[in-house]
Amino acid sequence: MRILVVEDDSKVASFVARALEEEGHQADVASDGVEGEKQARLARYDVIVLDWMLPGMDGLSVCRSLRRAGVRTPVMMLTARDEVGERVLGLDAGADDYVVKPFALEEFLARVRALGRRVADGTGTLVVEGLSLDLTRRSVTVDGAAPVELTGREFGLLEYLVRNAGRVVPRTELLARVWGTAFDPGTNVIDVYVRHLREKLGPHGPRITTARGVGYAFDG
């Protein structure tokens, strides 16, 4: 994969780029937000690794600008900010994943691989491991079979889990992004919807795994 790393800390940028290249990827580096946005617009990348705090133009602004320009390359935000509200800000800006510094290299590389496996084509379809989500028609198929009937909320939950394939999504994040609330009423509403998704996707569909006491992950 060709990956753009936008990071102003030269040591971190060099470390990340070297790790990516050792994995067999091509890594380009930009040291400020303005240059990073320019490179992301001019060249085709499979993944963008984007630091939050950047000179010239911060990571949130870069991400928003790229999304407004129609750049749909998956974005992984790097930041020292670990509060739920900050994560939601990054995701609302258009980021697909969020890694808090300092991070474990193995997890970082696994998340990069997961982002690279997602395909969002010009028709607005998200494809992961045989699962196809038509974002325009809001329909779902598994291995090309007949569409799976989902409610609007079920589709929103599945879409969010797919966009975050390969990582455990905390319940608080799901509540904020899918239900639009940061308050957990202590009910099992998320568990009920996950159970419905598992039943509808069937035994041969992609798995939604449970991280007990934390959240859920889509195995993509």
Q: Is 76 exposed, middle or buried (0-12, 13-18, 19+ CB in 10 A)?
A: buried
Written as six digits, the tokens of 56 are: 């010239």
Q: What's the CA gap between 134 and 119, in Å, rounded?
A: 12
In order of 62, 88, 115, 196, the CA distances from 40 in angstroms are 9, 23, 16, 39
Phi first, then psi: what are they for 2, rounded to 5°?
-100, 125
Residue 10 pLDDT level (bands cut at 50, 70, 90): very high
**Where do the H-state alpha helices sit in the chain?**
10-22, 33-42, 59-68, 84-92, 105-116, 152-163, 171-174, 189-201
Q: Where in the chain is the domain with CATH 1.10.10.10?
A: 121-218
Pick the CATH number of 2-116 from 3.10.310.30, 3.40.50.2300, 3.30.1380.10, 1.10.287.3510: 3.40.50.2300
Q: What's the CA gap between 95 and 90, in Å, rounded?
A: 6
* pTM > 0.75: no
Mind listing the pLDDT tens digit for each residue in 116-128? 766 544 446 777 7
Residue 74 CB: number of other CB atoms within 10 A?
Answer: 23
pLDDT reported for residue 120 = 47
Residue 164 contacts by C-beta under 8 Å, 6 or more apart in sequence? Answer: 96, 97, 217, 218
Q: Is the pLDDT of residue 113 over 60?
A: yes
DSSP code string of 14-75: HHHHHHHHHTT-EEEEESSHHHHHHHHHHS--SEEEEESS-SSS-HHHHHHHHHHTT----E
Q: What's the CA gap between 182 and 84, in Å, rounded?
A: 9
Q: Where in the chain is the domain with CATH 3.40.50.2300?
A: 2-116
Mind listing the pLDDT tens digit for each residue in 160-206? 888 777 788 888 888 877 876 655 656 688 999 999 999 998 876 67
pLDDT reported for residue 185 = 56
Pick the more confident residue, 115 or 86: 115
Q: What's the CA gap between 45 and 6, in Å, rounded?
A: 12
Strongest mean pLDDT among 26-30, 87-91, 199-203: 26-30
Where residue 74 falls (left for φ over 0; alpha for ψ -120 to 50; beta otherwise) is beta
Q: What is the Cβ-side half-sphere exposure of residue 55, based on CA atoms within 13 angstroms?
A: 6
Which fold would CATH assign to domain 121-218?
Arc Repressor Mutant, subunit A (1.10.10)
Strongest mean pLDDT among 7-16, 133-142, 148-157, 196-205: 7-16
DSSP-derived pairing of the beta strands 47-51 and 26-30: unpaired
